[in-house]
Amino acid sequence: MIRKSIVSIVLISCSLLIVSCGDGGKFNIQKGKVGHLTIKTTIQELATIFEKDSIVKNLSEGALGDNYFQDDDEYLIFEKGGKHILTIIPKEQLDSTSTIKSIEVHDIRYSTETGINKNSSFSEVNANNNINRIESTFFTATLFIDDLNATIAIDKEELGLKDFTTQKVTLEQIPDLAKMKAFIVWFN
């Protein structure tokens, strides 16, 4: 009888250990979801979601400020070791009840179901996603991926193009090994 109880306790303990070892979707990227963040997550919830991490707030002056060219509010998420993992931009500035506008992914652990992460090459992105359009800026080519509601920026140096031109870029011009400069998931 005692032996059965010990075996039961060991089995329950092992089951709990296995369940707790999973990340629970902490690093999954899907349309409208990055880890535990969704389109309904508010800025005030970040402190709870990232309670074991550090949040650095770069707040703008908003509509009340004198600087009309001020950037949006930014919430930079750092792990306790100092590694920058996410940059979160709210839809409304200086409003803790605002939902999220966009999330820039900095940590390679965040990935899609097809394995796309910040370190993925263009060939991996192109093989696993439908790239709907490409826009060229002075410094980057931005790929729009509607099935993730995400954008991926590739530095023009990776493409062998000169800066300060807005020359149209096609998928065929992008080398397979070109790396991402930025990976942003949009929540609009």
Q: Work out the average pLDDT over 6-27.
A: 49
Tokens of 136: 């060229």
* CATH architecture assigned to 29-186: Sandwich (2.60)
Where are the domains positioned within the chain? 29-186
Which among 1-5, 13-17, 179-183 has the top mean pLDDT?
Answer: 179-183
Cβ-proximal residues to 122 (8 Å cutoff; 6+ apart), any chain: 154, 174, 175, 176, 177, 178, 179
pLDDT for 14 equals 37
Question: Taking 50 as the threshold, does the pLDDT of residue 135 lie above it?
Answer: yes
* pLDDT at 182 (0 to 100): 97
Residue 71: predicted pLDDT: 74
Mean pLDDT, rounded, of the chain = 85
> Is pLDDT at 7 greater than 60 in this prediction?
no
DSSP letters spanning 18-29: HHHHS-TTTTBE
pLDDT greater than 60 at residue 13: no
pLDDT of residue 18: 38
Sign, CA torsion 46/50/52/57: negative
Q: What average pLDDT does this structure show over 159-170?
A: 79
Reported as a single tens digit per residue, the pLDDT across 98-132 is 999 999 999 999 999 999 999 999 999 999 899 99
C-alpha distance from residue 186 to each of 11, 34, 45, 137 (Å)? 43, 10, 18, 19
pLDDT at 188 over 90: no
pLDDT tens per residue across span 19-70? 334 456 899 999 999 999 999 999 999 999 999 999 999 888 765 555 566 6
